[in-house]
Every structure is written in structure tokens, then in C-alpha cells.
């Protein structure tokens, strides 16, 4: 016997599937932003001792940079260069 699923009143199974698998409402990042984030993240994983340290650096406000490194790198190429310099100084 098949599994029983609950659907909204008046909905067909196709409507439920479309709703479940529809793309999210998140804003997509521009390719150049993704490239900068990736480049900085890779360098963080190479320069810092472990994954947790790299993630903490990228996602916490850094006093020398004045903001979260991942946000700074996302904002501009100059920001990404500043984050890379900070990582090289740490490593």
C-alpha cells in the first residue's frame, strides 16, 4: 500500500509537487560576487589551521577590516584584495 500524503483542499498532487520543488525566493548572486567569495573562502581554508577557524574568520566581524570578511569580499574587488591580504598576514 502506498504512502498517504495530505494535500490542501482542492489541490491536486501536481500542484503540491510544483509548490514543493519550486525555486526559492532567494536573490541570486552575480557571477563575479560568487567568484570573489569562492576565491577568498579557498584562501581562508588554505591559510587557517582548520575549517572552523576559516568559517569563523569569514563570518565574524574582523576589527582590522571593520566588517565581516565575506561581506567585504562580496562588495567589491578591492574588498576581496583587502581580505586576501589579511589572510596572508595571518597565515
pLDDT greater than 90 at residue 40: yes
pLDDT greater than 80 at residue 41: yes
The pLDDT value given to residue 45: 97
Task: Say which residue, 12 or 84, is predicted with more confidence.
Answer: 84
How would residue 34 be classed by pLDDT, with cut points 50, 70 and 90? very high
Over the stretch 11-30, which tens digit does the pLDDT of each residue have?
A: 555 555 555 656 666 779 99
Cα→Cα distances 71→6, 32, 38, Å: 42, 14, 12
3-state secondary structure 15-70: HHHHHHHCCCCCCCCCHHHHHHHHHHHHHHHHHCCCHHHHHHHHHCCECCCCECHH
In a 3-state reduction of DSSP, which class is residue 83?
Answer: helix
Task: Say which residue, 48 or 3, is predicted with more confidence.
Answer: 48
Amino acid at each position: 500500500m502506498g504512502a498517504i500524503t495530505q494535500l490542501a483542499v482542492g489541490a491536486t498532487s501536481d500542484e503540491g509537487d510544483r509548490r514543493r520543488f519550486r525555486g526559492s525566493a532567494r536573490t541570486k548572486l552575480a557571477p563575479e560576487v560568487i567568484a570573489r567569495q569562492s576565491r577568498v573562502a579557498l584562501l581562508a581554508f588554505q591559510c587557517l589551521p582548520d575549517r572552523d577557524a576559516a568559517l569563523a574568520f569569514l563570518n565574524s566581524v574582523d576589527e582590522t577590516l571593520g566588517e565581516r570578511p565575506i561581506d567585504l569580499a562580496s562588495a567589491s574587488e578591492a574588498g576581496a584584495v583587502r581580505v586576501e591580504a589579511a589572510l596572508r598576514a595571518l597565515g
